[in-house]
């Protein structure tokens, strides 16, 4: 909560949640996503006059230490004397940096910059060495071939094996903000991932120009925590949709809302909850989460496909967990929509433009 904890907790103890939310808003508080979703669920329960229902709990996506995302890199065996022989080449600075104490512990993003310089200028160095040290020229050529074969490993590691990606997918991230059509961090995150894809495509095509703005884009991932926030929102929504659907299903199974097919006072109150709470508040948040999930999942899929080989096992397992959580969300959403359709149709209160059963939206 972004308000006085003591005040809000006291009020919450003896106010219904809906009144507590109103009181907090009037006193300058900001209710959490959990509070809004719980308010929706509790309103449904009161109107339907049903007991709480156990509808199961969605599985969280387990935390993944991104060190397990790293792909192996080729190791070139160049001794100190051979390193001095490279001084006449443009790659000398990049090779020296790689072999320095700092270079050996450099972040993967810095390693990418060094390796791209070596791949770009290495062929010229091979030609220069042919006349003075054919053996070293051949050794460098073999090293360049290995680097070229695994050139996308450098790109993958730069983006997915560092602290920035760890924060980006953080399982402890807060959910997306409630009531914001699109927070500022979302377009910045998507732009960073698009830049990563463009960079990977260029490297795959043999364009080894140094990346522009790499560190800035990585910082956007770190600061936004967007994928972790999306997963947190999706988790909360999945549980809420399951619980709300179960409440509606239980009520309809016990006795009809509208025995004559005409709206009863209870049905009119339920329709009010549908319009003012679900359609006006929950649905926009659900749509934001769903849309962001599509955009992030699409980019993750493109990055994995661009690698053109199986990703590390730990990353593959994590990605499967993300996909399973997304499917659980879609399944809960569809169940929730169908439950509302059944309740509103029974009372002749279905919106005129409502989609057919099976759609995952009800507007």
Reply yes or no on whether the pLDDT at 7 is more than 90. no
210-237 per-position pLDDT tens digit: 998 999 999 999 999 999 999 999 999 9
What one-character-per-residue DSSP string does 114-182 give?
Answer: HHHHHHHHHHHHHHHHHTT-HHHHHHHHHHHHHHHHTHHHHHHHHHHSSHHHHHHT-TTPPPPPTT-SS
Reply yes or no on whether the pLDDT at 89 is more than 90. no
Which residues make Cβ contacts (< 8 Å) with residue 113, sequence separation at least 6? 210, 211, 214
Q: Residue 23, class by beta-carbon neighbours within 10 Å (0-12 exposed, 13-18 middle, 19+ buried)? A: middle
pLDDT bucket at 79, cuts 50 / 70 / 90 = low
| Residues 213 and 155 sit within 8 Å (Cβ to Cβ) | no
Q: For residue 208, give both structure tokens.
A: 């080894």
Q: Distance between CA atoms of 227 and 321, rounded to whole angstroms? A: 13
DSSP state of 71: P
Q: Where are the domains of the chain?
A: 1-31, 43-72+163-182+223-363, 74-149
Q: Distance between CA atoms of 21 and 11, rounded to whole angstroms? A: 9
296-314 per-position pLDDT tens digit: 999 999 999 999 999 999 9
61: left (phi over 0), alpha (psi -120 to 50) or beta: beta
pLDDT bucket at 105, cuts 50 / 70 / 90 = confident
pLDDT of 25: 47
Reply yes or no on whether the pLDDT at 239 is more than 90. yes
């Amino acid at each position: 909560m972004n308000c006085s904890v003591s005040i809000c907790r006291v009020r919450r103890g003896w106010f219904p949640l809906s009144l507590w939310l109103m009181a907090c808003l009037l006193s300058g508080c900001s209710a959490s996503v959990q509070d809004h979703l719980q308010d929706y669920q509790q309103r449904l329960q009161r109107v339907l006059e049903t007991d709480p229902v156990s509808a199961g709990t969605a599985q969280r996506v387990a935390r993944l230490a991104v060190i397990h995302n790293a792909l192996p890199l080729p190791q070139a065996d160049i001794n100190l004397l051979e390193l001095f022989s490279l001084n006449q080449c443009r790659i000398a600075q990049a090779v020296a940096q790689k072999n320095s104490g700092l270079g050996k512990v450099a972040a993967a993003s810095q390693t990418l910059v060094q390796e791209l310089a070596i791949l770009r200028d290495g062929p010229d160095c091979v030609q220069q060495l042919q006349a003075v040290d054919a053996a070293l020229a051949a050794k460098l050529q073999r090293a360049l071939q290995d680097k070229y074969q695994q050139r996308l490993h450098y790109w993958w590691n730069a983006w997915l094996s560092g602290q920035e990606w760890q924060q980006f997918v953080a399982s402890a991230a807060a959910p997306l903000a409630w009531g914001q059509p699109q927070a500022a961090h979302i377009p910045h995150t998507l732009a960073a991932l698009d830049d990563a894809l463009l960079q990977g495509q260029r490297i795959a095509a043999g364009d080894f120009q140094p990346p522009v703005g790499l560190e800035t884009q990585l910082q956007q991932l770190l600061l936004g925590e967007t994928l972790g926030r999306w997963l947190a929102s999706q988790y909360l929504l999945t549980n809420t949709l399951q619980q709300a659907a179960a409440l509606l299903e239980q009520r309809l199974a016990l006795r009809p809302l509208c025995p004559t097919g005409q709206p009863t006072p209870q049905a009119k109150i339920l329709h009010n909850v549908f319009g003012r709470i679900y359609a006006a508040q929950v649905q926009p948040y659900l749509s934001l989460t769903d849309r962001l999930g599509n955009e992030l999942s699409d980019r993750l899929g493109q990055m994995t496909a661009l690698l053109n080989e199986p990703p590390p096992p730990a990353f593959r397992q994590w990605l499967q967990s993300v996909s399973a959580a997304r499917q659980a969300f879609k399944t809960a959403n569809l169940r929730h929509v169908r439950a509302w359709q059944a309740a509103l149709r029974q009372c002749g209160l279905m919106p005129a433009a409502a989609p057919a059963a099976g759609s995952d939206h009800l507007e």
